[in-house]
Structure 1
Amino acid sequence: MDLKQHLLDSDFTNSLADASLFIHGSGSHLIYVLVYVDDIIVTGTHSRTIDAVLTAFSDRFSIKDPVDLHYFLGIEVSRSKRGMHLMQRKYIHDLLLKTNMSDAKLVSTPLSTTPKLTLTSGAPLADPSQYRSVVGSLQYLSFTRPDLSYAVSRLSQFMHRPTQDHWQAAKRVLRYLAGTSTHGIYLHASSPNSLHCFSTSPVKLHGFSDADWAGDTDDYISTNGYVIYLGRNPISWSSKKQSGVARSSTEAEYRAVAKTTAELCWLSSLYSELRIQLPSALVIYCDNIGATYLCANPVFHS
């Protein structure tokens, strides 16, 4: 609260879309401060303004010497003129050491397509604590690994009663990670839709939506999936079961589009606060014709 008050007194505004984000704008000068407890990222459009903010911090608080962004909340950052690579290599290595899976046989996919995992497959584990610990660690790891989203979402559904089959599936994810520890997200510095706050051409924000209709053989609930791109950079993704049973593939796909729309609306609100120009109509791609027609129909939306 002391830090928040200091920022507000320094003419920063607290973002409504993200309570941990503070924004200061004066003409063409923009400063963003992202706070998580005592870890802080400060960036902006002019280096001198950033230095002034850091000096004000050091006058008021006891802080370490500011350095370029290399590590933040377990996420490693590698920067170059072409862009920025986000990964969690050290986090993966620590997890593999903790589970004695560093020398495990590698696999090319995180989850087997057959047979499908069910609630009753396999014998219950005598001690489920390790399974729960590993899956919890994988949830944090999926911040930079969209390729793990579905597998982690699926494994999380068995936390209350994990079995030997579920544990083998979790270990398969660890074997996949052992061979892909440097995988992550690459954010390009420039693209056909480069990110410039004061660019005359708007940044392209678009999402891809899909659903697995009645994919869960235990309760026949569908799974939503979406990934959202800013230009060619993936910035948000999710794989999550729906709240109820969809009675058709069109309904399942329409629910998935609704979830994607909600995320796009939140991102649009965030970017407006960041003073990033976006087109008035954002685009969602969906591969179900029935859901596409339903989205365009202003009447039958119940």
Structure 2
Amino acid sequence: MVYVDDIIVTGNDNVLLSLMLESLATRFSVKDHEPLSYFLGIEATRTAAGLHLNQRKYTLDLLARTNILNAKPVQTPMATSPKLTLLSGSKLSDPKEYRSVVGSLQYLGFTRPDISYAVNRLSQYMHAPTTAHWQAVKRLLRYLCGTFTHGIFLRRHNSLSLHAYSDADWAGDSDDYVSTNAYVVYLGHNPISWSSKKQRGVARSSTEAEYRSVANTTSELIWVCSLLQELGIRLPQAPTVYCDNMGATYLCANPVFHSRMKHIALDYHFIRDQVQSGVVRVVHVNTKDQLADALTKPLSRPTFTLLTNKIGVTPSPSILRGCIKHQSRINHHQ
């Protein structure tokens, strides 16, 4: 027995779609079908070019609840310095609000890969948040003040090439020196999956940290391939993982197992088998073109803005149209 209170039914055949909804309506209480516009806090704006997904209302409700709605916006979700640590600031007397807000921010990550690192970082202090951690939360909320219409745009005409950017910030945590790995998976031009998480153990070198990140990314790609196969979608070529570490890239392609890498034998053999069987390719990419870098560490404003645009985080098309009309009226008046 399955209970579902919210579900999306979609397809390319309108006749078959109508028949399915009519069949469901004979046994269950089903609302009249209509074009997708709002689902579980996610707003869908359809244009001729594609579909834009954002959580504008959810974000505004969160900002209003925290009294940050009218605060001055900032350009990045997290400051590059000073680095947050477990001992930064003084312990909060009541951590309830901190935990509530950070929990809400985690749900916002469904359409906002640009805040993935900041939310991941702030979630690590849930057990003992301090005043410094709370100030970092407020900064993230101020960033959302200026970007509450931002989300992911899924282009209508898109290729079926599957690729991912994999990156790691070696020993980036000042408390335990555990690295943060991240990936962004694309189907053509559209970002469909992303993650920013701490690794399970301390990496002894940047190559090891990057290699572990590639293993994590490869696992996600295999899952996406399995999902696409179930949907009857065939990929024209094997997925590609882009890594900006030469050592990790070489290790993926080199069949020789180095004694210095025995402690990561599981990851090594997992990736080697996938590469040799043609399931996935690992390719080196310049650090400047590493899109996952925005999900591993705080960045300066120019770098963060550039990578966010490349990742595919954009304002709602309706907002853009309004800005264009407003600007054209100003130009006409001048």
Q: Is 1:176 matched with 2:143? A: yes
Matches of residues 243-262 of structure 1 in structure 2 within 5 Å? 243-262=200-219
1:237 aligns to what SS in structure 2? strand
Q: Cα deviations across residues 117-147 of structure 1 (Å, max 9, x unaligned)?
A: 0000100000000000000000000100000
- Structure 1 stretches of at least 4 aligned residues deviating more than 4 Å after TM superposition: none
Report matched runs for 1:9-24 at 5 Å. Answer: none
Tell me which residue corresponds to 2:220. Answer: 263
Aligned position for 1:273:
230
* Aligned residue number for residue 41 of structure 2: 74
Which is richer in strand? 1
CA distance in 2, matches of 1:89, 1:290: 42
Partner Cα separation in structure 1 for residue 106 and residue 254 of structure 2: 37
Residue 184 (structure 2) aligned to one of 205, 208, 227: 227
What pairs up with 1:128-147 in 2 under 5 angstroms? 128-147=95-114
For residues 194-234 of structure 1, what are the alpha-carbon distances to aligned partners after superposition, in whole Å with 9 as ceiling and x for unaligned? xxxxxxxxx10000000000000100000001101100000
Q: Could you tell me which residue of structure 2 aligns to residue 209 of structure 1?
A: 166
Aligned residues: 259
Quick one: which amino acid aligns to residue 183 of structure 1? H
Match runs of 1:1-302 below 5 Å: 1-2=1-2, 37-191=4-158, 193=159, 203-300=160-257, 302=265
The two structures, once aligned, show a CA RMSD in angstroms of 1.0
Determine which structure has the larger helix proportion and give its number. 2
Instruction: Say which SS state the counterpart of residue 7 (structure 2) adopts.
Output: strand
Higher relative contact order (CA 8 A, sep 6+): 2
Take 1:218 and 1:43, find their aligned partners in 2: how far apart are those partners?
Answer: 47
Superposed CA offset, 1:135-194 (max 9, x none): 000000010000000000000000000000000000000000011000000000003x1x
Tell me which amino acid in the other structure corresponds to 2:217. Answer: T
- 1:280 is displaced (CA, Å) by 4.5
Tell me, what secondary structure is at the counterpart of 2:196?
A: strand
| 2:194 aligned partner, one-letter code | W
How far apart in 1 are the matches of 2:136 and 2:2?
46
The residue type paired with residue 175 of structure 1 is R
Task: Give the TM-score, by structure 2 length.
Answer: 0.76
Provide the C-alpha distance between the structure 2 equivalents of 1:183 and 1:280, rounded to a whole number of angstroms.
32
SS at match of 1:240: strand
* CA spacing shift, 1:114–1:2, aligned 2, 3 Å: closer
**Is the Cα–Cα contact under 8 Å of residues 162 and 238 in structure 2 kept in the other structure?**
no
TM-score, normalised relative to structure 1? 0.84
Letter in 2 for 1:43: T
**Secondary structure of the structure 2 residue equivalent to 1:116:** coil
